[in-house]
A and B are shown apart, each in its own frame.
Chain A
Amino acid sequence: MSGFFIRRLMQGVISIIGASIIIFVISRLSGDPILMLLPNDAPTSMIEETRRNLGLNRPLWVQYLIFAQNALVGDFGNSYRWKMPALKLILDRLPATIELAMCGLLFSVAVAVPVGVMSAVHRGGWIDRIGRVFAMLGQAMPAFWVGLLLILVFAIKLNWLPAFGHGSWSQLVLPAISLGWYPVAAQTRIVRSAMLDVLDSDHIRLSRALGTPERLIIWKYALRNAAVPLLTMLGVYFAAMLGGAFVVETIFAWPGVGRTVVEAVFARDFPVVQAGVLFTSVLFVMSNLLVDLSYGLVDPRIRNGR
């Protein structure tokens, strides 16, 4: 277990280093930030001066090493635009993003588990068929489109829920559904196939032979077995939601990390982009690690180091 964990940790560190190099290079390919910071008619001497002050005149690899060295102690530099530490800017926006990702995940699980379980129990029945249609719709509709549709229907036509903003529960509903919509399909399929496997196993047959009520067989004895593969997915999806929420955050004007990074990209605010993306990749790696650890909660065979 500990060897496995250390190996996963090392893999995570390598992933983060890789992500830092990629984001560092890509952000610099997007153009020269100086032109955004200074007025169009700024004299060349002033441009050079600013470039020197920001360290942008040095070779790229030197810039990276300085960036990496500072990043290790949590210093990502100041935002060119907001003149405040980039990391602080990101951390300030993080709770909103986590809130949104959690609710998105909650929505997807709340739909996927019952639908998946009932699809497996009544295989080929109407729930199974409707579930399959929904799964296809889920896979085929991108988040931005779902988001726009939801706004159109529930905010504009029906006027039930607000279309944007952050602060109250009602403002959370539409963004959470848009974010959680896509993974519902995959999660339903995982739950369904895992349940089908378990329901056909010897121990469930024995449970039935000993008179266990069907309700307990399905929701207690079978579901906990089926939860193991679902849990793996949840970790990956949670991480993907943290990183991928930028579309939904932008549509719903949600003040999260994603929207901040998108704005920073448009402003060529390198430190904020780097801090945001790197921070998200650290979260990604960490949530995958947490999933590896949490298997033990569900599956005692892993808990006991086998």
Chain B
Amino acid sequence: MLLSVRDLQTHLHLKRGVLRAVDGVSLDVAEGETLGLVGESGSGKTLTGLSLLRLLPKGSGRIVGGSIKLDGQELTTLSEAALARDIRGRKIAMIMQDPMTSLNPVFSIGDQVGSPLRNHDIARGAALRSAVVDVLQRVRLPSPADRLGDYPHQFSGGQRQRIVAAMAIGCTPRLLVADEPTTALDVTIQVQIINLLRSIQADTGAGIILITHDLGVAASLCRRIAVMYAGQIIETGPVRAIYRSPSHPYTKALLAAIPRLGAKRARLTAIAGQPPSLIDPPTGCRFAARCTLRMDKCAEAPPNVTLSDGHSAACWKLV
């Protein structure tokens, strides 16, 4: 297994208390596989992604438990220096949400795309230049050799996301964490970026974790999906299984909330209520307060029930 996360616990130490942002997450990503990490804002999916690189908010964020193994190497105990030198940008790279703010406005894109290659001693001098042109070609930026001296503001949103992708894949990382890579883009550009991620994967065989709240994007890119709610993975399985027979009431409600073209109803379906506070989360099922199928048993933590090969959900109804 390329990446193997077990019982990951990430806490944010805030003034009003300790927020259990990621609370017992386990997931696996195989080489060349794309895993979709789906959930609403605040469900802990982004912090799960950041935990893999240990890029948590300075001072407040801390991994307090669990293990993260990349190619068998434990990352949670690695020193900060070793992490920066060997892992970040080298073995695990990240693509951020907003391409308009992800590039440094006062450095040329040649400098920025070359930066990971320089930092990880992959290329220098003339070789560096041709490596930069090469990687920009791979993300299909038009005429890259003429544009190395250009600055981010001279590119469109879609082009900037391609440049960000080029920075990420420059050192051919083993794992790519893409945090909402299409959210800030127009729909037509979204398709281009999705296709780009596909071709990057075909080229490099990297594993991808796609963090998104867009079930459509997840369905079009991923083979497997993990649904997060309130800091925990509540259902995981192959894309088909999850979309055809969602088992956790939250997943069902989430899929039912997708508006369909031609539907008669004028109002959008919503899930009533709010996710629980993660500073003092309920002991039982975290979705219970909003669940229409709630039983007395839900006051206890639900077991993870295997439904079919690779499809499991945490809910008392399934026992």
| Pairwise interchain contact B102-A213, C-beta atoms closer than 8 A | no
| Pairwise interchain contact B101-A211, C-beta atoms closer than 8 A | no
Does A158 interact with chain B (Cβ within 8 Å)? no
Does B53 interact with chain A (Cβ within 8 Å)? yes
Would you list which residues of chain B between 74 and 94 have a CB under 8 Å from chain A? 84-85, 87-90, 93-94
Given contact pairs A202-B96, A216-B119, A209 touches B88 in the complex (Cβ within 8 A): yes
| Pairwise interchain contact A300-B105, C-beta atoms closer than 8 A | yes
Contact of B119 among A204, A206, A212 (CB under 8 A): A212
Given contact pairs A206-B164, A301-B153, A211 touches B106 in the complex (Cβ within 8 A): no
| Pairwise interchain contact A211-B107, C-beta atoms closer than 8 A | no
Given contact pairs A209-B93, A211-B90, A224 touches B107 in the complex (Cβ within 8 A): yes
| Pairwise interchain contact B87-A205, C-beta atoms closer than 8 A | no
* Complex Cα–Cα for A203 and B119 (A): 16
Does A299 interact with chain B (Cβ within 8 Å)? yes
Would you list which residues of chain B between 256 and 277 have a CB under 8 Å from chain A? none
| Pairwise interchain contact A203-B103, C-beta atoms closer than 8 A | yes
| Pairwise interchain contact A208-B116, C-beta atoms closer than 8 A | no
A128 CB to nearest B CB, Å: 14
The contact string, 1 if C-beta is below 8 Å from chain B, for chain A 210-252, is 1111101000010011001000000000000000000000000
| Pairwise interchain contact B85-A299, C-beta atoms closer than 8 A | no
Size of the B side of the interface (Cβ < 8 Å), in residues, is 31
| Pairwise interchain contact A300-B168, C-beta atoms closer than 8 A | no
- Residues of A near B104 (CB, < 8 A) are 203-204, 207, 221, 225
| Pairwise interchain contact B89-A209, C-beta atoms closer than 8 A | yes
- Residues of B near A216 (CB, < 8 A) are 115, 119
- Residues of B near A83 (CB, < 8 A) are none
* Complex Cα–Cα for A210 and B91 (A): 9
A301's nearest neighbour on chain B, judged by CB, is B153
- Residues of A near B97 (CB, < 8 A) are 202
B101's nearest neighbour on chain A, judged by CB, is A202
- Residues of A near B153 (CB, < 8 A) are 300-301, 304, 306
Does B155 interact with chain A (Cβ within 8 Å)? no
| Pairwise interchain contact A210-B115, C-beta atoms closer than 8 A | yes
Size of the A side of the interface (Cβ < 8 Å), in residues, is 25
- Residues of A near B105 (CB, < 8 A) are 203, 225, 299-301
Contact of B84 among A201, A211, A228 (CB under 8 A): A211
- Residues of A near B119 (CB, < 8 A) are 210-213, 216
Given contact pairs A206-B167, A210-B89, A221 touches B107 in the complex (Cβ within 8 A): yes
Given contact pairs A221-B107, A225-B106, A210 touches B94 in the complex (Cβ within 8 A): yes
A226's nearest neighbour on chain B, judged by CB, is B106
Does A153 interact with chain B (Cβ within 8 Å)? no
Contact of B53 among A204, A209, A212, A304 (CB under 8 A): A209
Would you list which residues of chain B between 21 and 60 have a CB under 8 Å from chain A? 53, 55
* Complex Cα–Cα for A204 and B151 (A): 16
| Pairwise interchain contact B94-A206, C-beta atoms closer than 8 A | yes
Does A290 interact with chain B (Cβ within 8 Å)? no
A204's nearest neighbour on chain B, judged by CB, is B104
* Complex Cα–Cα for A225 and B103 (A): 12
Contact of B151 among A202, A214, A301 (CB under 8 A): A301
| Pairwise interchain contact B168-A210, C-beta atoms closer than 8 A | yes
* Complex Cα–Cα for A201 and B154 (A): 20
- Residues of B near A225 (CB, < 8 A) are 104-106
The contact string, 1 if C-beta is below 8 Å from chain B, for chain A 62-79, is 000000000000000000
Would you list which residues of chain A between 268 and 306 have a CB under 8 Å from chain B? 298-301, 304, 306
| Pairwise interchain contact B89-A298, C-beta atoms closer than 8 A | no
Does B98 interact with chain A (Cβ within 8 Å)? yes
* Complex Cα–Cα for A210 and B55 (A): 11
- Residues of B near A210 (CB, < 8 A) are 88-89, 93-94, 115-116, 119, 167-168
* Complex Cα–Cα for A211 and B164 (A): 14
Given contact pairs A209-B55, A212-B116, A212-B119, A300 touches B93 in the complex (Cβ within 8 A): no
> Which 9 A-B pairs give the minimum distances between C-beta atoms?
A210-B89, A211-B89, A211-B88, A300-B151, A209-B94, A202-B101, A203-B104, A210-B116, A224-B106
Pairs A–B under 8 Å by Cβ, sample size 26: A202-B96, A202-B102, A203-B103, A203-B104, A204-B104, A206-B94, A206-B96, A206-B103, A206-B164, A206-B167, A207-B115, A208-B55, A208-B84, A208-B88, A209-B93, A209-B94, A210-B116, A211-B119, A212-B84, A212-B116, A214-B84, A216-B119, A299-B106, A300-B151, A301-B153, A304-B154
